């Protein structure tokens, strides 16, 4: 993260850098104009490049005084992790009273207090109060400028309308999904989202084959003629080993989800593995010899060997019913998923942020791999219980998530029909000519 100006000294060096930059720019400008002049006056125009070297640099005195220029200059300050707005004002040696005045401008308190690490505040320093103006991005679609006028802040909101562009792409797998996606002009965010949507049906590390193909309709968010970010995948289809899967985006209960054409969620109630980059080191086994105790004891879960600190995810949506230390299990989290299903995650080096009673979403990080309790090395011990009975998480029939039905299914079909029709047309020409 960049350092904001810490003292008047560093602010001065900031201005000096700008001066130096301006000199370099002027030199470059002279360098590009002068060869042309040399050509016109000298013949033959040999070694025109040399002419630029001998030219005197413009004297710094010819430039506007730093103070006059500083008045127009915006000093950007990036908010650091853990830094408050007060901290930013303090670093710039601006009185706290100015900050309180800014917070009291109607509509400003909430966006200013909400500014997070990485957000940029820009200041025009100087003037009677030490501050001429302050500006920041209130949200994606607007920027606010607070300018001192007669001893008070006057706010100006500059709206920056967002534009949603619908894009289409298609491709065929020759090596990896990412390679094919990049060839089709897709960014990593879109490829990742497409892979995620299909990840419950297709194991992209093992099932992918050369000749598999995809079609995707996605959005891009543009602002002021510039691409701001991906707007996500609207619909996609993926043909894996001759079988076609379709994903259509639809908002249910305020959450974006992907459904198949019949309105069944692609996302299953539980992930196959609550951890990435891990291998199974011990399976569910009612008669296993315990690696630490040496006695025959049922192994009532699956062990995933992984490096200490590897994130552990909630296998499904639910509520944290335990987070703490348990004998043998070490640092442990238990999640209650409702309908009699609980999952347990043991031997953590560190617990996640969730407290007992808090809701967690499938995939959110609830802790980190470790070797606490009775463990021979760092691994996740994962248990799946149905009505209190241990089941093998690798073979248990997972409860199915609710499909869309009735009026909601009808609304889903009507709203997504254009995208589904468009999806069928994507890449159609190429397919016909092949």
Provide the minimum distance between the beta carbon of 283 and Zn ion in the complex, in angstroms, as a whole number. Answer: 9
Q: Specify the stretch interacting with Zn ion by CB under 5 A; choose among 141-149, 249-257, 375-383, 397-405.
A: 375-383
What DSSP state is assigned to residue 20?
H
- Nearer residue to Zn ion within complex by CB, 68 or 394: 394
CB atoms within 10 A of CB 264: 13
Provide the minimum distance between the beta carbon of 375 and Zn ion in the complex, in angstroms, as a whole number. Answer: 8
Instruction: Write each residue from 325 to 364 as x if it is in contact with Zn ion (CB under 5 A), else as -, in one continuous string.
Output: ----------------------------------------
Provide the minimum distance between the beta carbon of 301 and Zn ion in the complex, in angstroms, as a whole number. Answer: 5
Q: How far is CA 242 from CA 19, 207, 208, 265, 432, in A?
A: 63, 12, 11, 21, 17
- Nearer residue to Zn ion within complex by CB, 123 or 329: 329
Provide the minimum distance between the beta carbon of 372 and Zn ion in the complex, in angstroms, as a whole number. Answer: 13
Alpha helices, DSSP H only, in 56-211?
66-70, 85-91, 96-104, 109-114, 177-183, 188-198
Q: Specify the stretch interacting with Zn ion by CB under 5 A; choose among 115-123, 184-192, 330-338, 379-387.
A: 379-387
Provide the minimum distance between the beta carbon of 269 and Zn ion in the complex, in angstroms, as a whole number. Answer: 23
Provide the minimum distance between the beta carbon of 382 and Zn ion in the complex, in angstroms, as a whole number. Answer: 8
Q: How far apart are CA 263 and CA 266, in angstroms?
A: 9
Provide the minimum distance between the beta carbon of 285 and Zn ion in the complex, in angstroms, as a whole number. Answer: 10
Closest residue by beta carbon to Zn ion: 381
- Nearer residue to Zn ion within complex by CB, 329 or 412: 329
What DSSP state is assigned to residue 265?
B
- Nearer residue to Zn ion within complex by CB, 99 or 312: 312
Q: 């995810």: which residue's tokens? A: 313
Q: Specify the stretch interacting with Zn ion by CB under 5 A; choose among 114-122, 143-151, 235-243, 299-307.
A: 299-307
Name every residue whose Cβ is closer than 8 Å to that of residue 422 and which is 6 or more positions away in sequence: 168, 217, 235
Provide the minimum distance between the beta carbon of 254 and Zn ion in the complex, in angstroms, as a whole number. Answer: 37
Q: Specify the stretch interacting with Zn ion by CB under 5 A; choose among 137-145, 163-171, 193-201, 297-305.
A: 297-305
3-state secondary structure at position 231: strand
Per-residue 3-state assignment (H helix, E strand, C coil) for 153-181: EEEEEEECCEEEEEEEEEEECCCCHHHHH
- Nearer residue to Zn ion within complex by CB, 208 or 366: 366
Q: Specify the stretch interacting with Zn ion by CB under 5 A; choose among 18-26, 316-324, 376-384, 392-400.
A: 376-384
Q: How far apart are CA 145 and CA 317, in angstroms?
A: 42
303 touching Zn ion, by CB under 5 A: yes
Name every residue whose Cβ is closer than 8 Å to that of residue 63 and which is 6 or more positions away in sequence: 19, 22, 69
3-state secondary structure at position 326: strand
Torsion of CA 347, 351, 356, 362, to 10 degrees: -90
CB atoms within 10 A of CB 52: 16
- Nearer residue to Zn ion within complex by CB, 231 or 274: 274
Strand partners, 230: 220
Provide the minimum distance between the beta carbon of 339 and Zn ion in the complex, in angstroms, as a whole number. Answer: 25
Q: How far apart are CA 229 and CA 295, in angstroms?
A: 56
The two structure tokens encoding residue 188: 């990593």
Q: Specify the stretch interacting with Zn ion by CB under 5 A; choose among 158-166, 224-232, 301-309, 406-414.
A: 301-309
- Nearer residue to Zn ion within complex by CB, 268 or 290: 290
Using CB under 5 A, list all residues that contact Zn ion: 303, 381
């Amino acid at each position: 993260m960049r350092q904001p100006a810490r003292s008047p000294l560093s602010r001065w060096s900031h201005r000096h850098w700008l001066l130096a930059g301006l000199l370099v720019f002027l030199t470059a400008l002279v360098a590009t104009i002068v060869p042309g002049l040399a050509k016109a006056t000298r013949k033959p125009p040999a070694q025109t490049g040399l002419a630029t070297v001998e030219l005197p640099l413009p004297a710094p005195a010819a430039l506007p005084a730093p103070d006059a220029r500083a008045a127009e200059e915006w000093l950007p300050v990036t908010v650091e992790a853990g830094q408050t707005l007060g901290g930013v004002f303090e670093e710039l040696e601006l009185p706290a009273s100015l900050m309180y005045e800014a917070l009291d401008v109607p509509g400003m308190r909430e966006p200013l207090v909400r500014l997070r690490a990485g957000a940029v505040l820009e200041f025009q320093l100087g003037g009677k109060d030490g501050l001429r103006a302050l500006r920041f991005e209130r949200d994606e679609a607007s920027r606010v400028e607070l300018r001192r006028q007669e001893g008070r802040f006057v706010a100006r909101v500059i709206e920056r309308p967002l534009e949603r562009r619908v894009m289409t792409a298609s491709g065929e797998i020759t090596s990896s999904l990412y390679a094919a996606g990049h060839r089709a002009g897709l960014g990593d965010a879109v490829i990742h989202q497409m892979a995620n949507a299909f990840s419950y049906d297709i194991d992209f590390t093992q099932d992918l084959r050369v000749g598999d193909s995809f079609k995707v309709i996605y959005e891009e968010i543009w602002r002021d003629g510039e691409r701001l970010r991906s707007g996500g995948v609207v619909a996609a289809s993926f043909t894996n080993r001759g079988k076609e899967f379709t994903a259509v985006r639809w908002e249910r209960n305020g959450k974006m989800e992907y459904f198949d054409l019949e309105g069944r969620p692609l996302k299953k109630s539980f992930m196959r593995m609550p951890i990435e980059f891990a291998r199974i080191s011990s399976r569910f086994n009612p008669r296993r010899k315990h690696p630490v105790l040496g006695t025959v004891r049922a192994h009532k879960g699956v062990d995933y060997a992984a490096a200490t600190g590897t994130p552990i995810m909630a296998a499904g949506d639910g509520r944290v019913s335990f987070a703490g230390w348990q004998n043998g299990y070490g640092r442990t989290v238990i999640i209650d998923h409702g309908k009699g299903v609980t999952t347990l995650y043991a031997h953590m080096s560190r617990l996640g942020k969730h407290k007992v009673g808090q809701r967690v979403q499938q995939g959110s990080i609830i802790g980190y791999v470790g070797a606490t309790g009775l463990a021979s090395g760092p691994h996740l011990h994962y248990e799946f219980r149905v009505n209190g009975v241990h089941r093998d998480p690798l073979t248990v029939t997972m409860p199915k998530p609710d499909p869309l039905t009735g009026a909601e299914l009808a609304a889903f079909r009507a709203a997504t029909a254009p995208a589904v029709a468009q999806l069928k047309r994507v890449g159609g020409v190429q397919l016909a000519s092949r």
